[in-house]
Amino acid sequence: MAHRLGPLVRDLRRDAGLTQQQAADLAGMSVAALRDLEQGRVTAPRSLTLRRLAEALRLPALETEELLRWATPGQVPDPGLWLQVLGPLAVQVAGAPVEIASKPQRRLLGVLALHPQLTVSHEALVEAVWGAAPPANAPELLRIHISRLRRRLGGRPEPDGPGLLTAAPGGYLLGVSENQLDVLMFERLLARGRQASREADPDRACRSFADAIALWRGDPLAELGLSAHPAVATLTRQWRWAVVEYATVANAVGRPRLVIEPLRQVVGADPQHEAAQAQLLIALAATGERAAALGQFEEVRGLLADELGADPGPELRHAYQQVRGESTAGRERIAVSAYRQLPPDLTDFTGRETELQELSKRMAAAAGAGTALVISSVEGMAGVGKTWLAVHLAHRLLAAGHGTEVQLSVDLRGHADEPPADPAAVLASFLLLLGVPGEQIPDDPVGRSALYRDRLFDRRALVLLDNAADEEQVRPLLPAGPNNLVVVTSRRSLALDGAQVLPLDVFAPAEAVGLLRRVAGVDRVAREPAAAARLAELCGHLPLAVSLVARRLRARPGWRLAELVERLTVAGDRLGELAAGSAQLRAIFELSGQALPEPVHRMFRLLGLHPGREVDAEAAAALAELPPVAARRLLDQLVDEHLATMVTGERYRLHDLLRDYARELGAVRDPAPARRAALTRLLEYYLHTVARATDRLLAQRARVSLVGTDPQLGPSLPDRPAAVAWLQAEHAVLVAMVGYAAEQGWPTHAWQLAYELRAYFGMHGHILDWVDTQEAALRAVLDAGDRRGELELRTFLGSAYLDQGRNRLALDQLEQALVRHRELPAGDALAEEALAEGALARELNIRSLLGVACKELGRFPEALTHYQEALHLAEGRDSYREGALRTNLSVLLVELARPAEARANCLRALALVQQVGDVDGECLVLTNLGDACRRLGEFAAARDYLGRALQLADEHGFRPRRAYTLHRLGNTCHDQGDLPAAREQLREAWSLLRQDTPGAQLESEMLVDLAAVQLALDEPDAAVELLRDAVGIAESSGSRYQQARAFAGLADHARVAGEPERVAEYRRRAEALFAELGVPVTAPAVGEPAE
């Protein structure tokens, strides 16, 4: 047979317009495997392989069925097996019942049978057997139980050999065929019944549906306590809809007695299942029990009002109208509901006013032109409120005089448990409503569509097509008249010519709270406004989620909003909590994803693993181990399905609740090793790309040997601006990645990513993120005993603490770093690695930072010692770090009232940093050089240097450098007597500093200098407040020099205020501190040049 299968696969692929590579990527197989299949070298392809290929090629049902006929039954050694899980677990081998007494083995078999032909992870199986607290030897016990279960089922004992129950990467797989498992047979019979319905063969449809329902023996695996398992919930929903589909066909052909009992079973289990209730009403009336049918409706109406505060939906109301009007026995019935009037407008509708006004205006304008059909397409993710908006819009249009002659409405079931509505059946229903006798309705869909357009052409008609599956379903239902208006909703992006498209996003926060207020109660929300806002946030501002929460609150008047906030926060199952009655958000999301091809579904699940909120195609490619082009194609398909959103250009995002759902699916579908491997690839993609970006930021740096391999997927980053742009775009994601790696067991990835990010964070003023990432990574390496990581992180955490003004903490980290550096013994592998990768550079960094820390803490002699020893090591060996050392030393020399020495060191540093191309270092040196010149009274030179520094800071986006330079420029203006300019420069510098680095080391210094200007401008009250703040900040940071300056400033203020006692006290305290520091008492305290 294979020689005929190969050409079939090749022709189907070519018809789909795909290359072998594209088809293989989408089907999750290798090109070689696809090539072997097309060339006939594979003689027995697995059904799962062909099913994935059919999904990748987007084959319709008939072609998929034809392709699957070529599949072998799979790895099934014993054709006599019959396994039943649609009810209590039952096993037969060779026609004889097999008793499996062990409960762990029964649960294992049950869970595997719920996922036939798919790998179930070890973790999922362990949890199914032992719950959340498995024994320590659970993996070993699992292998034992699997081995015994194999023998009970008649399979091969070898765990890796071909057989019924086989080991797979990360878990186990039950390789049964549809003739061996009732679940697969049930699904197959359902597919046959639906196909027969589409082909207008009700006899065959009834047989298939009846056979499928007969397999149902009760709740699946109820005796094993698996009723809450997602797969069981899915099967239960499938069974209920199968009964509804069976009843629809049976009622239409006059066989209502066949379906009354199964319908009663469905409504007994789920009284709010309105479709089943509607069919039960019709069946009861058709068998002469009209009174019972009417009584059933009243009972359901009361139930809906009590539990949901809602009225029956349109399908149930339509069935009630049929029962009241006449007997339905023997009456032909189209399986799709459609009505002459629109569904009722929602009393709870709120928000969306901007969208409604814009869409109404555009549609009315187009309709007023009277030249062409007007189509509005409302698109968006599940639960975003498309149907609500569309119904409300339709009522607005009707009220405005549009579509007044005919209003048609239909649920096309594009995303539902039952199959999508057949356009031909919808057309037949529409034509009946338009007065066409049944015998005059054409048999072929094209004829029906033509007649439908003819009947609406010259009429003012409004057609609502809700929940469309795709363009092919919608196009036959589009009328053609100039006075016809159509509103379409879909979770997919539809390519409909001339449509007014409205992509619907989630609510704004105020709209979400407004819906809570309207449904749960105005007073209730007013009493707890913060809890209401938090509830809306936990719902992701998704309208359906907010509505579900509001309905729960309305049905439980005793609940406080804060209690529900707590439930949603701590439950660990936010999706499970977002439910009301039979409506569950998880089930609605499930419908969105059930028809996705496996490669697209896999990408969706992988995106749920991503710790950040956004992802680009390159990061998605790393997750999925695909080329970026293939990853982008899958991401675009998710966007088309409204399961992802394109944020900007090349960046994509999942809604928070969809991300929860994707992560939940991945935990069930994908083995834990595969999930961890995907996250490792993602971490290594970010790590290596950040390292390449950092190469563009730093002229010279000590490199570390990065873990893993560079996937070479990221952007090229040809220059510094490109590197900064990429880092800015990925900023939030990178912070999240460090935290995730640190907490979830990737300590090396965590510290290396934090290490590589330090330059970007420091240069661009992201000090809080710098500290947070360093601290998180340090905790991880300490737990892991990683000495190299500890050494690097303590060094740069000390640097970050210095920028925050946390000088004592900085000194502690840097002293520990120096100890760790010296502890590396000669000949030690770690020491040799450190030497090879810049041990000298590391010691120079530590000593330079120790000098800064000691200076800030007023330990000036120690600071000088660190700088001098470091310079002795650096001179002639490391120009880059010699320049940095001399720059830092110049600040100390200025504070010691030695500005000439400071200037000399700055001039030497300037030559060194320009030699190595260190732009950031050049900016800092120029600022310090300008300050040294100011202190020498060389104002022209000072302004020149400071102007050059400011230009570099602005060109390269160095916000902290800009603040530092403006500070020095303000001091220069003060010394020159330009007080308004000084105040302007200092205020801007302070504003920048507070934005980027609140509590930074420069804050107390800047407050003292600004206070001096305020005092000179005769604003003593403002000045004294600044000086008091400066004293507090300097004391908390341990900066004795700035304390001394602040006390000197307070003495000046007391002198102006005429308080001689305070003048003496403040001068005494300032002079004492200056004396301790070794600074001449005559050193300028505020804004005055030295003599």
How confident is the model over 329-350, as a mean pLDDT? Answer: 50
User: Final residue of a domain: which of 127, 159, 180?
Assistant: 180
Residue 655 confidence (pLDDT) above 70: yes
pLDDT for the residue 584? 58
The residue among 596, 489, 518, 583 whose CA lies nearest residue 544 is 583
Strands (E), 727-816: none
Tokens coding 891: 């600040």
Residue 620 confidence (pLDDT) above 90: yes
How confident is the model over 585-611, as a mean pLDDT? Answer: 80
Q: Counting beta carbons within 10 angstroms of the beta carbon of residue 60, is it exposed (0 to 12), middle (13 to 18) or buried (19 or more)?
A: exposed
Highest-scoring range by mean pLDDT, 67-76, 271-280, 384-393, 619-628: 619-628
pLDDT for the residue 938? 94
Place of tokens 């940071």: 1037
pLDDT for the residue 751? 96
Q: CA gyration radius for the chain?
A: 37
Residue 127 lies in a domain: yes
pLDDT single digits (tens) 738-774: 999 999 999 999 999 999 999 999 888 888 899 999 9
- Say whether 615 sits in a helix, a strand or coil: strand
The domain that holds 19 is classified in CATH as 1.10.260.40
891-895: long-range contacts, CB 8 A cutoff, minimum separation 24? 891/855, 891/928, 892/851, 892/855, 892/860, 892/863, 892/864, 892/867, 893/932, 894/928, 894/931, 894/932, 894/935, 895/855, 895/860, 895/1041, 895/1077, 895/1079
Residue 888 lies in a domain: yes
The residue among 920, 983, 868, 1014 whose CA lies nearest residue 700 is 920
Give residue 834's pLDDT band: very low, low, confident or very high (50, 70, 90).
very low
Average pLDDT, the chain: 81
Residue 952 lies in a domain: yes
CB 157 within 8 A of CB 147: yes
pLDDT for the residue 573? 61
pLDDT for the residue 66? 61
Report the 10 Å Cβ neighbour count for 1062.
Answer: 15
Strand ranges across the sheet with 374-379: 338-339, 406-411, 461-468, 484-490, 374-379, 500-503
Top-confidence residue, 503 or 821: 821
Residues 866 and 894 in one domain: yes
The domain that holds 470 is classified in CATH as 3.40.50.300
Top-confidence residue, 605 or 121: 605
Domain count, the chain: 6
Instruction: Please give, one letter per residue, the 3-state secondary structure of 964-1027.
Output: HHHHHHHHHHHHCCCHHHHHHHHHHHHHHHHHHCCCCCCHHHHHHHHHHHHHHCCCHHHHHHHH
How confident is the model over 1044-1057, as a mean pLDDT? Answer: 90
Residues 219 and 326 in one domain: yes
Query: What φ, ψ does residue 840 adopt, rounded to 5°?
Result: -60, -45
Residues 416 and 290 in one domain: no
Judged by average pLDDT, the poorest of 52-61, 812-821, 1069-1078 is 52-61
Element (DSSP H or E) covering residue 551: helix 543-555
Top-confidence residue, 452 or 757: 757
pLDDT single digits (tens) 519-528: 888 888 888 8
Strand partners, 614: 653
Give residue 158's pLDDT band: very low, low, confident or very high (50, 70, 90).
very low
pLDDT for the residue 771? 93
Give residue 996's pLDDT band: very low, low, confident or very high (50, 70, 90).
low
Is beta strand 500-503 parallel, antiparallel or unpaired with respect to 374-379? parallel
Residue 235 lies in a domain: yes
Top-confidence residue, 887 or 67: 887
Residue 628 confidence (pLDDT) above 70: yes
Top-confidence residue, 1040 or 304: 1040
Residues 195 and 326 in one domain: yes
Residues 201 and 144 in one domain: no
Strand partners, 484: 461
Residue 474 lies in a domain: yes
Is beta strand 374-379 parallel, antiparallel or unpaired with respect to 484-490? parallel
How confident is the model over 498-520, as a mean pLDDT? Answer: 81
Residue 1041 confidence (pLDDT) above 50: yes
Tokens coding 15: 């018809």
Residues 38 and 91 in one domain: no
- In which domain, by residue range, is 869 found? 860-958
Residue 161 confidence (pLDDT) above 70: no
Strands (E), 551-697: 579-580, 583-584, 614-616, 645-646, 651-653
CA distance 119 to 48: 12
pLDDT for the residue 205? 83
Place of tokens 């004492």: 1072
Top-confidence residue, 577 or 785: 785
Judged by average pLDDT, the poorest of 177-186, 351-360, 1020-1029 is 351-360
Strand partners, 461: 406, 484
Helices and strands in the chain: count of H runs, count of E runs: 51, 17
Give residue 999's pLDDT band: very low, low, confident or very high (50, 70, 90).
low
Residues 92 and 176 in one domain: yes
The domain that holds 129 is classified in CATH as 1.10.10.10
pLDDT single digits (tens) 384-410: 777 778 888 888 877 777 777 888 888
CA distance 274 to 252: 18
Strand partners, 210: none
Residues 211 and 257 in one domain: yes
The domain that holds 929 is classified in CATH as 1.25.40.10
pLDDT for the residue 971? 93
947-950: long-range contacts, CB 8 A cutoff, minimum separation 24? 949/923, 949/924
The 10 Å CB-count burial string (b at 16+, else e) for 113-146 is: bbbbbbbbbbbbbbbbbeeeeeeeebeebbeebb
Give residue 217's pLDDT band: very low, low, confident or very high (50, 70, 90).
confident
Strands (E), 605-644: 614-616
Residue 980 lies in a domain: no
The residue among 72, 63, 70, 73 whose CA lies nearest residue 13 is 63
Question: Which stretches within 860-978 are classed as H helix?
Answer: 860-874, 879-895, 899-916, 919-935, 939-956, 959-975
Which CA distances in Å does 202 have to 188, 205, 431, 613, 686? 17, 5, 21, 49, 57
- Say whether 97 sits in a helix, a strand or coil: strand
Residues 490 and 414 in one domain: yes
pLDDT for the residue 1008? 92
Residues 396 and 441 in one domain: yes
Strands (E), 248-393: 338-339, 374-379
Residues 155 and 202 in one domain: no
Residue 398 lies in a domain: yes
Residue 822 lies in a domain: no
- Tell me which amino acid residue 181 is: L
CB 488 within 8 A of CB 476: no
The 10 Å CB-count burial string (b at 16+, else e) for 475-510 is: ebbbbebebbbbbbbbbbbbebeebbebbbebbeee
Query: What φ, ψ does residue 1032 adopt, rounded to 5°?
Result: -60, -45
Residue 1050 confidence (pLDDT) above 60: yes
User: Final residue of a domain: which of 566, 582, 598?
Assistant: 582
Residues 873 and 890 in one domain: yes
The percentage of residues in the chain with a pLDDT greater than 90, rounded to a whole number, is 23
- Say whether 288 sits in a helix, a strand or coil: coil
CA distance 795 to 774: 10
CA distance 147 to 92: 18
CB 164 within 8 A of CB 77: yes
Place of tokens 């505020």: 1086
pLDDT single digits (tens) 658-670: 888 888 888 888 8
- Say whether 826 sits in a helix, a strand or coil: coil
pTM of the model: 0.58
The residue among 1007, 1001, 1038 whose CA lies nearest residue 799 is 1001
Place of tokens 């009970």: 152
The residue among 759, 760, 738, 757 whose CA lies nearest residue 749 is 738
CA distance 634 to 813: 46
Place of tokens 């391999």: 709
Dmax (CA) for the chain in angstroms is 113
